[in-house]
Structure 1
Amino acid sequence: MFIKIILPLLFLFLCGSFVFGQNSEPGGTVRGVVKLAQSGKPVQNAVMTVAELKKSVSTDENGAFEIRDIPFGKYQIIAHLDRVPDAVKTVEVSANGATANVDFELNLSTVSEQVTVTATGNAEAIDKSYQPVTSVGALELAQRNPLSIGEALEYQTGVAKRSFGPASGRPVIRGFDGDRVLVLQDGLRVGGIASQSADEVEPVDVLSLDRVEIVKGPATLLYGSNAIGGVVNGISTNDVYQKGLSGYLTTFGGTNNYQAGASGGFKFGYKNFLFFGSGGGQKANDYRTPLGTVLNSYARSGNANGGAGYFARKGWLTFDYTYDWRRYGIPVEPDEFDFEYLRMRRHAFQIKGGLRELDSFIESGDFAVSYNDYVNREFEFESDENVTEFESLATNKNLNYRANFNHRRSGKFSGTFGFSGFTRDYESTGEEAPAPRTKQNSFAFYGLERVDFERIGFQFGGRVEQNGYKPEGNFRDRNFVGFSGGAGLRVPLWTGGSLVANYQHSFRAPALEELYNNGPHPGILVFDIGNENLKPEQGDGVDFSLRHSTDRVRFNAGVFYYRINNFVYTAFTGRIDEESNLPIIEYAQSNSRYFGGEASVEAKAVKNLWLSGKVDYVRAELTESNKPLPRIPPFRAVLGLDYRYQNFSLRPELILAAKQNRVFDNETTTAGYAVFNVNASYTVISGRTAHIFSVNAYNLNNKLYRNHLSFLKEIAPEIGRGVRFNYALRF
């Protein structure tokens, strides 16, 4: 299967390199200089890209760049430097032969990212995206808790954390969880099974990422039915060429749970070749709350990645390998004698390539193929007898592939079309193995088109997707085919301001465990019984947002409403399984609705002081009974200041959450809370090297509080007072 997919894609890459090698007609020129905001020094090897043309150059030793042969029109110019927030500016080339000048400042601080590639598959400014997107850069990720991707992203606007302990935190977007939120790395599945079970972990190394992008709301058009609630995409930069040696080192240590770790990586570009690698590890002991230590909440992890690439003027090809391992405990009651822990490992292989600046109908394109071999073993340690027993084994072998093609702009039309798919071989054995061995396959083709007028923009597209399941044993094969589509409108209102409206029709095939599970499922604290006759979910939603982005104020506020027919949920039967002592649930279907709003603002109050705020709320329920859906985040707000003086930054913040009393069956009310944090950082720049020292003091009021989305909130409240120290080196 792997050979059948990769050979045609390689053939297309090689043929394109030879056939489409002609030069385009001469046009205008964009030139400028890139400097660091903290020092005013020029930035060498920053990658400057014309987003609409997929055309890139690098800055020289003086920070200067020049991009030639630009047809007349308006363009987004993106300045990128690894592990530094991207910057974007709009420039207009008035006529062929004209020169447009634009200079950039890159900021070595936790400023908001301005660029996304996840929303459309191509780089664009976040404020130009039709869907709501949040992007979190490497500097901010390192200063948050990097133990899991859920921990690192908690309290981003519209993003909450589902957990079964700190090591297994997973993002929840606008109340959507599990199989409705897709976690990717570089646009591809990572092979984990955390969507199925809350005690599993997403095998994503947060510290090695350049940034994480969060697309909020249905993203099924590009990413498939598992993205009906949104997408979390970890972005690395191994497919971005940089001449010479560059790299990073991040180390950290904390007081509460004696968390410590380090991550480092390098890129070395020589002629047309790029070599890269990264690796690291971290550990955290049992954490403490105002009530005492949460037993068995420890975590250990390590990872390594390496690869190489070839970069021609009009094409590129890379290969890399990743190894990830983790060991973590499931928190228990203080008087418990039996301690469960999980040991996970993943091997991942990936080939990526692309063509650009082609003189044909298809002006650029890219492809990727990855293979994941994921294994998670669960054990129980009986401390009173000093005996460790094996409980279950889960394996997931996953092959992913995709190819995107960007067609040449025709008048006001531009767009992308392509295909993607995956195969999956899932098997679970042992006492806690509710599902049969199942093979899954999926294939889809899609298109996304944009129409840009002088004062208004449109986006529309569609996707046809097939999902098939073949379980072993006396189970029914299922095959689902569905359509997802959407349309968006962006209207400029004033300088820097715009109104964006979206409509999305989404399709989701039922998940494997919803169809075939029949046994104890401790990862969600139930004995679940699947339903082989489930229908696919069909959703319709609208999203309206008001945006403003200038040098002094960045503001984004929006409201959304989604209605999902045939919504799959866990229906409690009122019975208890005698052997596992878990409540028995059945997967049932009804109609549901999600509606809510969110807003974020960053405003420069005086010369060195910025004010910031975030707020979000979602209400979700079954429409026929008005019964609230489970584990929906409460109303939340984050209020903060950012004082910046030269290379120093001080950022106090107050996190607020309201009481959540809208609860589902077998769910309890969660009290509201207020938590106070302070972050501070100082940057030292020497030549081409930057040193960033930071301190994160969290829960300074030592508040006892619980996460409503935690399956173990009663026995494992959130972490108490602590301090985390961080050092980051970039060269």
Structure 2
Amino acid sequence: MKSFRLALILSAACIAAPALAQDAKPSEETARDDFHNRDNGRDTIVVSAAGLERLDVLGGTSVLEGEALLRNLESQIGDTIAKLPGVSTSGFAPGASRPILRGLSGERIRVLTDGVGSIDASAVSDDHSGTVDPLIASSIEVLRGPAALLYGSQAIGGAVNVITKRIPPSVPDEPVHFDGIVAGDTASNRIEAGASIDWRLSSEMVFHIDGSHRETDDLDIPGYVATPALRAQLLDVAAEEEEEGHLDEAEEFREGANSYGVLPNSQTSTSTAGAGFAWHSGQNMFGVSTDYYETKYGIPGLPGVGHVHAEEHEEGEEEEAHEEEGPVSIGMKRVRVDVRGAADLGEGFFDLVQAKLGYSDYTHTEFEGVETGTKFDVEGVEGRLELVQSNRNGWGGSLGMQYSNVDFRADGEEAFVAPNTTENWALFAVQQYDIGALGLQAGARYEHSAVDVDFTDGTNLSRDFDAFSASAGVSYALIEGFEDDLRIGINGSRAERAPVAQELVADGPHVATQAYEIGDATLTTEKAWGLEGYIRGSIGQVLVSASVYHTWFNGFIYLDEADVAPIDGLEVFEFLQQDAKQFGVEGQLKVPLVDGDGFRLLGELSGDYVRATLDDGSPVPRIPPVSGLAALEAQLGHFDIRGEVEAYGKQDRVSEHESPTEGFTFVNASVAWHPFEGNQNLTVLAQVDNIFDVEGRRHTSFTKEYTPLAGRNFKLSARVSF
């Protein structure tokens, strides 16, 4: 069945080929908008800060696009960008995996859609899926380091911005423009397809429609579901149950310990649909879009623990009935509306005003078998207005304001956060001044946050926070020219984050952490002082990017085990504050080893390391290990042949309440075929990941003890544009 599905994918690509062959020369607009860029290693900067030519003020910035995006495409944003230096992913389940940047995650990393927050519950818990499907992304920006200046205090650790075309950025040259993708794999029996169409209504108006669907089965894994340590514990429990006469329970624990080859309850199903309209006239524009996102995915459970066995009773009492809980799954639906506009202000001090507004209505339901469990509802709005300055003798920038209001409600036995409303408003300015080869950047942001909580007993809590963030940097062009641009620089930043409702008032069992969480209503803002030095740019075809950074946190908010008795069988964890420090390095080098007539051989090296320590000397939990990637890519005629080694070190620098994680190395290979000379509008990609079927587990995952990564995985995909 799996090979049959892959054959269908290749057939779909071949059916599309004759239509493409009729027009071997794409228009300039098509060439720019399509997703088939072969030379996709350059750190292209899609400027998210209006009025700035570079985002050096933010630290390292990367864009995943073109063939690299197709090759790394996964069902979750976190998994899709995980190979970039300085990036990891939470890896809670195949259907739920959030980005981790420089070891920071959750409420310190913002996931955005076209510069506006995702407005969902994905940051509340690692078992919550994001609401942005990589299938509809034209590119993905990764902003490492403090992005609070642009996107708010919850981006103190960085931001991931998914660029879509739901509000078309321009009017296509052709009357109708089509983009489509179809893909599948063998490890999860994945089959997915997505398509978008842009209709040119006039020289100034365009209509867009898109949709996608993905289905996966339980994930194939290379070995046991459980780690050796967990297997030993489960077998010990099975022996104890057997001694007590609980034979059914003993067998269940034994089966859990011996579960092998497939990760149970890891299936996913996701569908999206969207439509948009845009009017463009010079720099003036107006656009609106709406989209619907629906997913259902399984949550792999701790082997053998989903079973509740009979308790001992007084003589004469009947034994309590044996209860079997069904597997846990999550169903989520989200409707979103976005509005965007820009107006040309002429040649004054400000030459452009632009606005973005997003509204989201999100519902997330957790199921135990067919029984409905906890339900989460999030409804919110976020908007930003920016005035873009005219560039005057090397001086440019923008001033802006941002507002958001989000209502959060949770109902059910595991609703560990009380209903709350969070309101934020902010003013910000980002400036850049170039004097020859010297570049100066600076920015500041003031943000006010108000958190209002309504407890079930009728009481309430209101907290207000004022956060100030600022950044300044200087860079110097070592080499500057038409093809060369190599800069060194140093940035200093001061970022501040207000605590969120979960950190303030959590009080209940949390499935993702397998703990009873308790918040602290007295928490203050978290402050981060940072320094970063870097070198970035190109010398001809050689691309280099390297950063070293150090951050000092004042009042770092974290979760730690409390010295109290368990509640409802769960260990109690509480949110605490303590100073902390973070140090890291990351880098990437891409070099053309051979550049001959019709043949190119490219080499790539990248890696990262981060170390984070609390003030008491203990490590911050779930920090990713040192990692690296080495690749060779040959471009020969219509083919790109790539091999890569992806290595992760052992992480044994762990906090008191986490276990070490063994290192692992994956070897991957791919072949991309561009069948038409001078036309890149069809890409067929065959690849195999983890060729040697190695077991790997992410140290950053709460479920690493029983959620390994996929085994050997054959993939086939095709992307077509015309």
TM-score clears 0.5: yes
Residue 665 (str. 1) matches residue 656 (str. 2): yes
Query: Distance in 2 between the 1:554 and 1:412 partners?
Result: 25
* Equivalent position of 2:359 in the other structure: 371
Q: Deviations along 1:153-199, whole A, 9 cap, x unmatched?
A: 11211000102111101110000011000000000011121111000
* Equivalent position of 1:222 in the other structure: 150
Segments of structure 1 that go 5 or more residues without pairing to the other structure are 1-37, 48-79, 86-106, 382-387
* Equivalent position of 1:711 in the other structure: 702
Residue 643 (str. 1) matches residue 626 (str. 2): no
Residue 552 (str. 1) matches residue 480 (str. 2): no
**SS of residue in 2 equivalent to 1:316:** strand
Q: CA deviation at 1:686?
A: 7.5
* Equivalent position of 2:216 in the other structure: 284
**SS of residue in 2 equivalent to 1:364:** strand
2:177 aligned residue (246, 260, 265): 246
Query: Structure 1 or 2: larger strand share?
Result: 1
1:478-517 → structure 2 map (5 Å cutoff): 478-495=463-480, 496-517=485-506
Query: Distance in 1 between the 2:162 and 2:707 partners?
Result: 28
1:327 aligned residue (289, 296, 306): 296
* Equivalent position of 1:692 in the other structure: 683
Residue 189 (str. 1) matches residue 121 (str. 2): no
Residue 527 (str. 1) matches residue 510 (str. 2): no
Of structures 1 and 2, the one with the larger relative CO (CA 8 A, separation 6+) is 2
Query: Distance in 1 between the 2:496 and 2:705 partners?
Result: 36
2:44 aligned residue (91, 114, 117): 114
Q: CA deviation at 1:409?
A: 2.4
Q: Which residue identity lines up with residue 422 of structure 2 in the other structure?
A: Q
Query: Distance in 2 between the 1:590 and 1:426 partners?
Result: 27
Q: Deviations along 1:242-292, whole A, 9 cap, x unmatched?
A: 233212110001111101100000112222211001101101110111221
Segments of structure 2 that go 5 or more residues without pairing to the other structure are 1-20, 224-260, 307-323
Q: Deviations along 1:311-346, whole A, 9 cap, x unmatched?
A: 223411001100000000001245556310000010
Query: Distance in 2 between the 1:411 and 1:550 partners?
Result: 26
Q: Residues 40 and 497 of structure 1: is their aligned pair in 2 closer, same or farther, counting only changes over 3 Å? A: farther
Residue 450 (str. 1) matches residue 432 (str. 2): yes
* Equivalent position of 1:561 in the other structure: 550
Query: Distance in 1 between the 2:610 and 2:535 partners?
Result: 18
Residue 432 (str. 1) matches residue 414 (str. 2): yes
Query: Distance in 1 between the 2:333 and 2:687 partners?
Result: 30
Asked whether the 8 Å contact 1:116–1:124 carries over to 2, the reply is no
Q: Deviations along 1:128-169, whole A, 9 cap, x unmatched?
A: 776210100143223224211111111211000102111101
Q: Output the aligned Cα RMSD.
A: 2.0
Q: CA deviation at 1:552?
A: 2.1
1:82 aligned residue (26, 30, 33): 33
Q: CA deviation at 1:359?
A: 2.4
Asked whether the 8 Å contact 1:295–1:333 carries over to 2, the reply is no
Query: Distance in 2 between the 1:687 and 1:268 partners?
Result: 25
Q: CA deviation at 1:235?
A: 0.6
Q: CA deviation at 1:461?
A: 1.1
1:604 aligned residue (589, 592, 601): 592
1:82-161 → structure 2 map (5 Å cutoff): 82-84=33-35, 107-108=37-38, 110-118=40-48, 120-121=49-50, 124=53, 131-161=59-89
Query: Distance in 1 between the 2:331 and 2:371 partners?
Result: 13
TM-score normalised according to structure 1 size: 0.83
Query: Distance in 2 between the 1:416 and 1:409 partners?
Result: 10
Asked whether the 8 Å contact 1:130–1:501 carries over to 2, the reply is no
Q: Deviations along 1:586-608, whole A, 9 cap, x unmatched?
A: 11101011111001010000121
Query: Distance in 2 between the 1:116 and 1:600 partners?
Result: 19
Q: Which residue identity lines up with residue 492 of structure 1 in the other structure?
A: A
Asked whether the 8 Å contact 2:218–2:263 carries over to 1, the reply is yes
Which range moved further: 108-117 or 220-229? 108-117
Q: Which residue identity lines up with residue 400 of structure 1 in the other structure?
A: E
TM-score normalised according to structure 2 size: 0.84
Q: Residues 551 and 687 of structure 1: is their aligned pair in 2 closer, same or farther, counting only changes over 3 Å? A: closer
1:464 aligned residue (446, 459, 468): 446
**SS of residue in 2 equivalent to 1:615:** strand
Q: Which residue identity lines up with residue 301 of structure 1 in the other structure?
A: T
**SS of residue in 2 equivalent to 1:194:** coil
Query: Distance in 1 between the 2:702 and 2:565 partners?
Result: 18
Asked whether the 8 Å contact 2:73–2:135 carries over to 1, the reply is no
Asked whether the 8 Å contact 1:130–1:490 carries over to 2, the reply is no
Query: Distance in 1 between the 2:388 and 2:79 partners?
Result: 36
Q: Which residue identity lines up with residue 274 of structure 1 in the other structure?
A: V
Asked whether the 8 Å contact 1:149–1:206 carries over to 2, the reply is yes
Query: Distance in 2 between the 1:179 and 1:696 partners?
Result: 35
Asked whether the 8 Å contact 1:317–1:353 carries over to 2, the reply is yes
Asked whether the 8 Å contact 2:431–2:443 carries over to 1, the reply is yes
Percent identity reads 25
Asked whether the 8 Å contact 1:684–1:691 carries over to 2, the reply is yes
Q: Which residue identity lines up with residue 265 of structure 1 in the other structure?
A: S
Q: Which residue identity lines up with residue 173 of structure 1 in the other structure?
A: L
Asked whether the 8 Å contact 1:141–1:207 carries over to 2, the reply is no
* Equivalent position of 1:680 in the other structure: 671
